């Protein structure tokens, strides 16, 4: 008999993919340039030149046996050293190569991290609004994912609701800052309070409650600010990073888990990830991409377009009367829909060739997400369509 759990998953449609396919289809009719497609979180800027040059240099000059051979089980030593060095320099940490485990993006990082610090049957808490793929990452490990209701004022943390949901069987808390879909960046105050509550809960329940910090948007922060480095606030933190967004390399599948050196059992977590990998058939990202990224750990794509787009959309949305928290980073914005049913709202927007994603699946019913990783010219051209839609359908 085939696996019923996975077969059941086939029935659940991914709304983002459905909308993206609709946008492509509509593009065939009227030209994709005329479709204001805010569905997918695919970076819209190319990888930096430093990365391209490094790839070319490696292929021309380096030993093909090293570039294309098997990666060591726990990752390429140069990649691990360079990541540790970069994090230590930038965030005042004291990682060694032994605390870094290369993964296939943030997806691979979360899938490993969550398995390393839980056992089947445990609960994992996350905060709305949240990235819907946490469901398969967490439930696939035999765990239950529970979502703490949102703080709708600022999309920080609803601490009262969090306190009520904590319990003996909560093994880990999974956060995402800067956040997909809200664009909110957790403040120092939020992280300090979260750390205090995790410390108290660990004492009360007699076991460490681990913090899993999913941070693929760490480098996309606006207004000259930087995102506080989560692991600085709580020792028992596993940071899950990806180069998908900062280097615009989502197809290359490269990221890592960084285990705080002061975390409980820090010395065995990376070797354990190697064992988890065997079970998942993951066995490290390709050697070539690990080596290439090791050569440009501090490079980033030109991320400035996202801030320009954020400014244009935030200004337009507030002017049109939308209730919206100003994103501090990422390339997402999460306004409140003009009617309670955000699915109906997004359906009506399609008539204006605006492809907006209802945020129900992100744990934020009544809101919609715009992924503004698109050309600025298109953002500008979409604003009159947004105006017409809002005025004609909702009279504002
Ligand atoms: C919050 C969040 N976590 C994890 C991921 C997965 O990232 P990756 O593609 O690097 O695996 C994404 C991708 O969009 C994301 O938005």
45 touches 301 (CB < 8 A): yes
pLDDT confidence of residue 339? 98
Write the residue with the smallest CA distance to atom 10 of ligand 1. 105
Task: Find the helix packing angle between 266-280 and 105-116, rounded to 10°.
Answer: 120
Atom of ligand 1 minimally distant from the CA of 242: 10
Atom of ligand 1 minimally distant from the CA of 108: 11
User: In this structure, which topology does domain 4-47+302-394 adopt according to CATH?
Assistant: 3.90.1150
Q: Are strands 237-242 and 368-371 parallel, antiparallel or unpaired?
A: unpaired
pLDDT confidence of residue 298? 85
Residues 335, 364: Cα–Cα separation, whole Å: 10
Q: How far is ligand 1, taken at its centre, from the CA of residue 107, in Å?
A: 6
E-strand ranges in 64-153 read 100-103, 123-127, 144-148
Any atom of ligand 1 within 6 Å of the Cβ of 256: no
Any atom of ligand 1 within 6 Å of the Cβ of 214: yes
Q: Are strands 123-127 and 144-148 parallel, antiparallel or unpaired?
A: parallel
Any atom of ligand 1 within 6 Å of the Cβ of 41: yes
pLDDT confidence of residue 139? 95
pLDDT confidence of residue 253? 97
Contacts 24+ apart (CB under 8 A), 144-148: 145/174, 147/363
126 touches 159 (CB < 8 A): no
Q: Which token pair is 206?
A: 């007699």
Contacts 24+ apart (CB under 8 A), 197-202: 197/159, 197/162, 197/163, 197/166, 198/173, 198/234, 198/236, 199/234, 201/166, 201/170, 202/236
**pTM of the entire structure?**
0.97
Query: Going residue by residue through the chain (396 aa), what tens digit of pLDDT does each one get?
Result: 999 989 999 888 889 999 999 999 999 999 999 999 999 999 999 999 999 999 999 999 999 999 999 999 999 999 999 999 999 999 999 999 999 999 999 999 999 999 999 999 999 999 999 999 999 999 999 999 999 999 999 999 999 999 999 999 999 999 999 999 999 999 999 999 999 999 999 999 999 999 999 999 999 999 999 999 999 999 999 999 999 999 999 999 999 999 999 999 999 999 999 999 999 998 899 999 999 999 998 899 999 999 999 999 999 999 999 999 999 999 999 999 999 999 999 999 999 999 999 999 999 999 999 999 999 999 999 999 999 999 999 998
pLDDT confidence of residue 170? 98
pLDDT confidence of residue 11? 85
Compute how many other C-beta atoms are within 10 angstroms of the C-beta atom of residue 145: 18
E-strand ranges in the chain read 36-37, 100-103, 123-127, 144-148, 170-176, 210-214, 237-242, 255-259, 332-333, 354-355, 357-358, 368-371
* Segments making up each domain of the chain, as ranges: 4-47+302-394, 49-294
Residue with tokens 């993919």: 17
Q: What share of the chain is helix, strand, coil (3-state, %, to 5)?
A: 45, 15, 40
Q: How far is ligand 1, taken at its centre, from the CA of residue 222, in Å?
A: 19
Say which residues have a Cβ less than 8 Å from residue 1's Cβ, sequence separation at least 6: none
Q: Are strands 210-214 and 237-242 parallel, antiparallel or unpaired?
A: parallel
User: In this structure, which topology does domain 49-294 adopt according to CATH?
Assistant: 3.40.640
Q: Are strands 255-259 and 237-242 parallel, antiparallel or unpaired?
A: antiparallel
- Backbone angles phi and psi of 297, in degrees to 5: -65, -30
216 touches 106 (CB < 8 A): yes
Atom of ligand 1 minimally distant from the CA of 254: 10
Residues 64, 60: Cα–Cα separation, whole Å: 9
pLDDT confidence of residue 12? 84
Atom of ligand 1 minimally distant from the CA of 109: 11
Angle, alpha carbons 297-243-212 (nearest 5°): 105
Any atom of ligand 1 within 6 Å of the Cβ of 296: no
Residue with tokens 């004609």: 392
Q: Please provide the size of the chain in residues.
A: 396
């Amino acid at each position: 008999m085939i696996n019923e759990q996975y077969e059941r998953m086939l029935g659940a449609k991914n709304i983002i993919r459905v909308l993206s396919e609709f946008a492509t289809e509509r593009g065939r009719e009227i030209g994709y340039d005329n479709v204001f497609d805010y569905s997918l979180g695919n970076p819209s800027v190319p990888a930096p030149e430093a990365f391209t040059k490094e790839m070319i240099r490696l292929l021309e000059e380096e030993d093909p046996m090293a570039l294309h051979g098997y990666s060591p089980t726990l990752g390429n030593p140069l990649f691990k050293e360079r990541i540790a060095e970069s994090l230590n320099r930038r965030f005042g940490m004291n990682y060694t190569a032994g605390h870094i485990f290369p993964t296939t993006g943030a997806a691979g990082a979360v899938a490993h991290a969550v398995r390393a610090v839980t056992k089947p049957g445990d609960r994992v808490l996350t905060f709305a609004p949240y990235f819907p793929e946490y469901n398969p990452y967490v439930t696939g490990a035999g765990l239950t994912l529970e979502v703490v209701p949102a703080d709708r004022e600022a999309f920080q943390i609803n601490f009262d609701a969090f306190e009520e949901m904590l319990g003996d069987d909560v093994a880990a808390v999974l956060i995402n800052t800067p956040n997909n879909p809200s664009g909110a960046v957790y403040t120092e105050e939020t992280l300090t309070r979260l750390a205090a509550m995790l410390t108290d809960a660990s004492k009360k329940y007699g076991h460490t409650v681990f913090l899993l910090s999913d941070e693929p948007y760490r480098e996309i922060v606006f207004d000259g600010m930087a995102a506080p480095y989560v692991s600085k606030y709580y020792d028992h933190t596993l940071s899950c990073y990806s180069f998908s967004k900062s280097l615009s390399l989502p197809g290359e599948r490269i990221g890592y888990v960084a285990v705080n050196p002061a975390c409980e059992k820090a010395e065995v977590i990376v070797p354990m990830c190697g064992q988890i990998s065997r079970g998942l058939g993951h066995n490290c990202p390709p050697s070539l991409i690990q080596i290439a990224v090791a050569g440009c750990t501090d490079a980033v794509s030109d991320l400035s377009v996202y801030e320009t787009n954020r400014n244009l959309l935030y200004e337009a949305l507030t002017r049109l009367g939308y209730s919206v928290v100003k994103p501090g980073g990422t390339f997402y914005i999460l306004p409140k829909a003009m009617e309670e049913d955000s699915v109906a709202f997004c359906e009506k927007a399609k008539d204006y060739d605006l492809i907006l994603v209802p945020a129900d699946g992100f744990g934020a019913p009544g809101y919609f997400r715009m992924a503004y990783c698109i050309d600025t010219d298109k953002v500008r051209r979409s604003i009159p369509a947004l105006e017409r839609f809002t005025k004609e359908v909702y009279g504002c």
